[in-house]
Amino acid sequence: MIQKFVVNQVSVNIILSWISSGEIAIPEIQRPFVWDSTQVRDFIDSLYRGYPVGYLIVWQNPNIRDKSGNLTKGKKILIDGQQRVISLMTAILGKEILDRNYKKRRIIIAFNPLEEKFEVQNASIVKDKSWIPDISVLFSQNFKTLDFIKEFSSINNVDEHKILEIIESLKAIINIPIGLIELSSELDIDEVTEIFIRINSKGVPLNQADFAMSKIAVDEKYGGNVLRKAIDYFCFLSVRPNAFEQIKNDKEFSATDYFKRMSWLKNDKGDIYAPSYADMLRVAFTYKFKRGRMQDLVALLSGRDFQTKQYKEEIIEESLIKLREGILDYMNEHNFKKFVMILRSAGFIDSSIMISQNAINFAYILYLTLKERGIHQGIIESLVRKWYVFSVLTSRYSGSPEAQFDFDIRRIEQNNPIEFLENVLKSELSDSFWNITLPQQMDTAALRSPIFHVFLAAQVKMEDKGFLSKDIKVADLIKIKGDIHHIFPREYLKRIGFIDKDEYNQIANLVMAQSEINIAIGNKSPESYFKELLEQCETKRLKYGAIVNKDELFENLRMHCIPFEIFGELSKDYNAFLIERRKLMAKKIKEYFDKL
């Protein structure tokens, strides 16, 4: 049994020297700093007062063989404690950090020796002679302590010895020991994650994409550090296109090919697919390496040879080159826009009805893979649409997504991709699925139900009108975040005994409607307001919406899969209504799927 970790105590000064020498890698340096300024202040204050500040956890990168066959020592990867270490860098060493707006700036901490109090620097502090506006000057090699003490004491009329004692105490925080847990390079990712969870009192699991990003960020030899920036900046721009000028200010990065490749995002207004760095990594890796487990990417970026179990530098180089190709294909304007267009063409026109990020990611993997194989664009579009909807309906990538990713991409690679995909769709979406399984799965009250959102996409695709609307489409209501109406009104159901949310919020009881129609119906019984709808068609006096023709009314109900028996006995039997509507909704989804 190997020794899985060692616990040591190292001084703040040693940690900072490791950073300067590159012995320890801070993967978050290239990404926005998430602590606010007051948290940095409080951290420095805790060090000054001798309070415990927790452990840092590092994972020793494995030693690898370079091209000459010599062993090179791996760096330490900091996997817990990034915010604390970066706080030291900006407050004590005076280095800039990237803030949430991707702007470089310093968090400057001031100190009042008279009150022994820390504060974030502001304009009034700078003017106040009782404050040291920036504590980093105290740790500079050029700082002359005695000269400073003499001047400060004179201005503030205080005892020099007292101030000297306080300043020396402040400067001594670089000698404060901090606990350091070093995890063995022999550990695999799963074990490192488990150790992290058990040590971390918050119980926050480590994302394997974080490990991969850490590996990428610390590689300067083969451009991993720049690739890391490219991934982060692309994700940021996809959410905030107006931040283009901010990123342009990063002169070093704006001179790269990555920046040119993502510049199209500054004019992009699409919002249905805003990827995270984990999404980008997962798609690029699975598509390019034909593997679905992120731990394999971490191993490859460490130089692991899966056959010999050794670590080789050339594997790191090859893996980063391959990953770079995948990332560039991912961020390619034509690829990205074409993929988003395919999703929209399936009726998924708004992020509010986009379900399962894993399903979206694999759909993009599928698009890139089929394109790489030279398959006709028309076939690609149909298969990607169908596979995404199928994945959502069956929750294919919900349970163990990485295992399913791995299985699917390997089968696609090893077989005729069109035959494999069509065979899976045929076997999984049998008649029994459409007629029995799908209606049964609709017996749920989850407003985030994937089935309900696929149903809405089907209505968008079929250009259905909103419930009781003459002209307003479901697509319009989704875009403006229209009302979700209860066909059997919620308050009415409560009055007759259906008091549980799981009862009155059944997805088979929901439709998209204009707010004024929803308000007009209020808490009336279906028996009452459906009768009034028929009267509206006869008298032409508007009460609910603008439909005054029976044929239009029945067509509207058909669009929403509302059985016509709602004008009779079903208006009095909620459970029977749900059963019948589920069947019609399943039938509509199948009709929609067949058209994809």
For the chain of 596 residues, list the mean pLDDT of each consecutive stretch of 10: 75 86 60 76 93 83 54 68 85 81 81 94 94 93 90 93 93 90 74 63 59 78 90 88 85 92 90 88 97 89 82 89 97 96 96 92 98 96 98 93 95 96 97 97 88 97 96 94 92 94 94 94 95 95 94 97 96 96 98 97
> Tokens for 376?
């006709």
- Angle, CA 554 vertex, CA 551 and CA 559 arms, to 5°: 125
Q: How far, in Å, CA of 127 to CA of 110, rounded?
A: 12
E strand or H helix at 314, and its extent? helix 313-331
Instruction: Check residue 30 and give its pLDDT.
Output: 41
Instruction: Check residue 66 and give its pLDDT.
Output: 47
Who's near 246: CB < 8 A, 6+ residues apart?
101, 102, 103
Coil/strand/helix, residue 196: helix
Q: How far, in Å, CA of 154 to CA of 150, rounded?
A: 6
Tallying the residues shown for the chain, one arrives at 596
Which residue is associated with the tokens 């603008």? Answer: 546
Residue 32's Cα: distance from chain center in Å? Answer: 15
Q: Is the pTM of this model over 0.85?
A: no
Instruction: Check residue 203 and give its pLDDT.
Output: 45
Contact, 264 vs 333, CB < 8 A? yes
Instruction: Check residue 560 and give its pLDDT.
Output: 98
Neighbours of 321 (CB within 10 A): 11
Q: How far, in Å, CA of 45 to CA of 49, rounded?
A: 6
Task: For residue 473, give the DSSP letter.
Answer: B
Task: For residue 117, give the DSSP letter.
Answer: E
Instruction: Check residue 175 and give its pLDDT.
Output: 92
